[in-house]
Structure 1
């Protein structure tokens, strides 16, 4: 969930807990300026939640008198989005109903009958080959709380206990990752959550590096950090076209001053990388390593032999 959405929900919770809340207090508790508070109030009103503005020295915001919000308020498109996310995002390998299945049943109970029938038809007609490998709820809740509070955690990893300053959680390609500063290695590391059995907050607090992006770190590590070979290939195309065609984890794309794009990526198997390059839709030039050019030549020779064998007999 985005930070603005989180703050809108936090604003609603504050207003539900109290009557009139001064605007200055809302800015302090939400960590934003007065203009942002007004935007969040407008967002609540757009969702048909009546928020009143009270002017004057002791003014602020409050929910309209006598308003009692139901436990769940979803527009039709929001209900469909939640239902689809629950149905297609669950672990398809589970042999018995999991949390997503139970939540879907509960959501179904509160939908209006016409919409419930349409959503049920959508779910029954939709199949997903694989959903995310969702960790245990208590684990992700504990780690998320530590990220939010900036508390060091001790995680029980398959390779032993670790003390980590958690910078963020990232979901990528069906897997969850914890990104943070590992005290033992004195470096930023990422850990797959399916290899963590437990987490406990420690008294120590930390300050994340300014501007650090956990998503960028995960993508960079998966692209370059885990591979034996670093490859550099010049592509005869523009940067936007390359980004549109190649997945973000394929490699780092950099525009070249003299034209074209430099693809920098990691590879464990150079012959496999050579086969991938021959499938690209643009001319290319291998710059590094020389062994990749050798692997490409061997692959081309294999293709040439296959073409010769496939020619009809004279």
Structure 2
């Protein structure tokens, strides 16, 4: 038989799940009558647990917000979910919290768990190992407390449709002040990004949160376009920047082969339809700092391609092909050097590199 204290704790667990619960619902789930359910609510209040009464047609009981946290009641799976999330955050050096906060929260959770479950969770902590986190750049030296402050402020502004201003340090650039209408925040590949409309530059931009400082919420409200998709802003090609080249071309290849050289984070690739079915061609669009990198990647891809624009890319490809043919026909060292540098104005094209090269397309370069 379930003792009254067990039913009281069961009611607390229901309330901890959130939302407002009617007396009838609580009575049904705890398997008591409505009068007893009200008495259990009073028991919880006597234990200094802030249970609010919500009046009206859809009223009932709920836990008060901003009240002292009641005793935690986790199932095995819930406890594992919480501790695992803390483990993952501790491994991720760009998570939104400091390592000290992660360790403190983990200790508090483990302290309130039943002894048997706590031992099983400790076994997870002792036996699970993570591979080393990827190398991070200097912008990610921002401490966890600062990251948490930035994330909380931007998330609130995006939810409430409020404009913000902040300092931003772009790649290879000095810090600037930005005025942004936020659309949303995206977590992608170990980093957090803010998607929004940059009022100063009059264009949609994506900002890395670890490069943001001094967030300030501004007066007024904003409205995002109906079809706004912050995830697409991160995964698709980013908005153009002045130093980037827009490139459009067609490649005759399987999508998987193109993606092995130009993943979704770097370029878009859509099939080109032909009369009667697919043509086998893909239309590729990307933005790149250096056209030489694009030429090198296309050569390494080893598939037929047609340059739609810019004209400079077509000229670079033709110049590389001509010089390569002359060098291949050279019979001596001096002849090879002369053939390769025969055009004084030609730009040397480096050997092809994998998509992670320093000639980074815009989808890897937030504003």
- Aligned partners of 2:257 and 2:60: how far apart in 1? 48
User: Rg larger in 1 or in 2?
Assistant: 2
List runs of 5+ in structure 1 lacking aligned partners: 1-8, 23-57, 310-314
CA deviation after TM superposition for structure 1 residue 13, in Å: 1.8
Checking the alignment, whether the CA contact within 8 Å between 2:23 and 2:60 is kept in structure 1 is yes
Q: Taking CA–CA contacts closer than 8 Å with sequence separation of 6 or more, which of the two structures ends up with the larger relative contact order?
A: 2
Seen in structure 2, the aligned counterparts of structure 1 residues 81 and 238 have a Cα distance that, compared at 3 Å, is farther
Equivalent residue, structure 2, for 1:127: 132
CA deviation after TM superposition for structure 1 residue 155, in Å: 2.1
CA deviation after TM superposition for structure 1 residue 290, in Å: 1.0
CA deviation after TM superposition for structure 1 residue 88, in Å: 3.0
CA deviation after TM superposition for structure 1 residue 19, in Å: 4.4
Equivalent residue, structure 2, for 1:70: 72
- Aligned partners of 1:182 and 1:250: how far apart in 2? 22
- Aligned partners of 2:300 and 2:101: how far apart in 1? 41
Equivalent residue, structure 1, for 2:42: none
Q: Deviations over 1:142-168 (max 9, x none)?
A: 110111111222323454443322111
Asked if 1:277 is matched to 2:298, the reply is: yes
- Aligned partners of 2:213 and 2:160: how far apart in 1? 21
User: What SS is found at the alignment partner of 2:218?
Assistant: strand
Checking the alignment, whether the CA contact within 8 Å between 1:167 and 1:181 is kept in structure 2 is yes
CA deviation after TM superposition for structure 1 residue 79, in Å: 5.0
Seen in structure 2, the aligned counterparts of structure 1 residues 146 and 276 have a Cα distance that, compared at 3 Å, is same
- Aligned partners of 1:269 and 1:290: how far apart in 2? 13
- Aligned partners of 2:161 and 2:178: how far apart in 1? 16
How many residues are paired up?
A: 257
Equivalent residue, structure 1, for 2:167: 156
Which residue of the other structure, out of 257, 264, 284, is the alignment partner of 1:263?
Answer: 284
User: What SS is found at the alignment partner of 1:181?
Assistant: strand
Q: Deviations over 1:266-289 (max 9, x none)?
A: 222222222222332644444443
Checking the alignment, whether the CA contact within 8 Å between 1:223 and 1:252 is kept in structure 2 is no
Asked if 1:291 is matched to 2:315, the reply is: yes
The correspondence of residues 37-116 of structure 1 with structure 2, limited to 5 A, is 70=72, 72-73=74-75, 75=77, 78=81, 81-91=84-94, 97-107=99-109, 109=111, 110=113, 112-116=118-122
Q: Deviations over 1:181-225 (max 9, x none)?
A: 233344333333233211122331122111111222234453855
User: What SS is found at the alignment partner of 1:273?
Assistant: helix
Checking the alignment, whether the CA contact within 8 Å between 1:271 and 1:295 is kept in structure 2 is no
Asked if 1:201 is matched to 2:217, the reply is: yes
Checking the alignment, whether the CA contact within 8 Å between 2:204 and 2:239 is kept in structure 1 is no
- Aligned partners of 2:234 and 2:132: how far apart in 1? 29
TM-score by length of 2: 0.55
- Aligned partners of 1:129 and 1:226: how far apart in 2? 29
CA deviation after TM superposition for structure 1 residue 140, in Å: 0.6
Equivalent residue, structure 1, for 2:153: 142
List runs of 5+ in structure 2 lacking aligned partners: 1-13, 26-56, 63-69, 170-174, 334-367
Checking the alignment, whether the CA contact within 8 Å between 1:232 and 1:262 is kept in structure 2 is yes
TM-score by length of 1: 0.63
